Structure 1
Amino acid sequence: MSWKDWIRRYPRMHCAFKHLYSAALAPWCYLHGKPPSLIPRSLRPAFTLGGKVAVWYAYVDGSRSVPLHYDRQRIAEICQRVAAGELGHYGQVDAWLYSALQRYPIAGQRVAVMGSTDQGYGPWYEAIGLHYGARPVTVDYNPIEFEDERLQFMRAPLDWARVEPFDAALSISSFEHDGLGRYGEPLDPEGDLKAMQLMKRLLKPGGRLFLTVPVGKDKVVFNIHRIYGRLRLPLLLQGWTVEDRFGWDEAALDRDTGFGWEPVKYQRGPAGWEVQPLHPGCPEYAPVWVLRNEPA
Structure 2
Amino acid sequence: MGQNLQVFKKFGYTLTSPTYPFATLDYSPPLNCSAEVSDWLYIHKNQRVRRPKAFLPDDVTMEFVLNKYSGVSYKYTDDRKKLNLTYKSWQNIADIVTWHARDVLRLVEDSSAISMHYAMNHYLPHGARGIVLADEHPIVEVQAIQNGAAHILSIGRAARETDDISSISLVEFAQNHHRYGRAFDFIATNGAMETIGLGRFGEPLDSIGDIRMMILLGCVMKKGALMFLGLPVGKDALIFNQKRIYGHVRLPMLIAGFEWIATFSEESEMPIDITARQLKRLYKFNHLRRTLVLRKL
Aligned to 1:19: none
Aligned to 2:294: 291
Output aligned runs, 1:151-230, within 5 Å: 151-157=165-171, 158-159=173-174, 160-164=177-181, 165-230=183-248
Query: For the Cα contact (< 8 Å) 1:93–1:288, is it kept in 2?
Result: no
Which one has the largest radius of gyration? 1
Q: Aligned to 2:274, which of 246, 249, 256?
A: 249
Q: Secondary structure at the match of 1:55?
A: strand
Aligned to 2:78: 61
Alignment gaps of 5+ in structure 2: 1-48, 266-272
Q: Aligned to 1:106, which of 120, 125, 131?
A: 125
Output aligned runs, 1:15-94, within 5 Å: 33-64=50-81, 66-70=84-88, 74-83=92-101, 87-88=105-106, 89=108, 91-94=110-113
Alignment gaps of 5+ in structure 1: 1-31, 261-283
Cα shift at 1:85? 6.2
The TM-score, its normalising length taken from structure 1, stands at 0.71
Query: For the Cα contact (< 8 Å) 1:70–1:146, is it kept in 2?
Result: no
The TM-score, its normalising length taken from structure 2, stands at 0.70
Cα shift at 1:72? 7.2
| Relative contact order higher in (CA < 8 Å, ≥ 6 apart) | 2
Cα shift at 1:238? 1.5
The number of equivalent residue pairs is 234
Q: What's the RMSD between the two structures over aligned residues? A: 2.5
Q: Secondary structure at the match of 1:230?
A: coil
Query: For the Cα contact (< 8 Å) 2:91–2:160, is it kept in 1?
Result: no
More displaced stretch, 45-54 vs 80-89: 80-89
Q: Which amino acid aligns with 1:213?
A: L
Cα separation, 1, equivalents of 2:211 and 2:119: 23
Cα shift at 1:199? 1.8
Deviation by residue 1:76-124 (Cα, 9 ceiling, x = unmatched): 3422334566545474533322222222133211111112113xxxx21
Query: Is 2:140 the partner of 1:125?
Result: yes
Aligned to 1:271: none
Give identity over the alignment, percent: 29
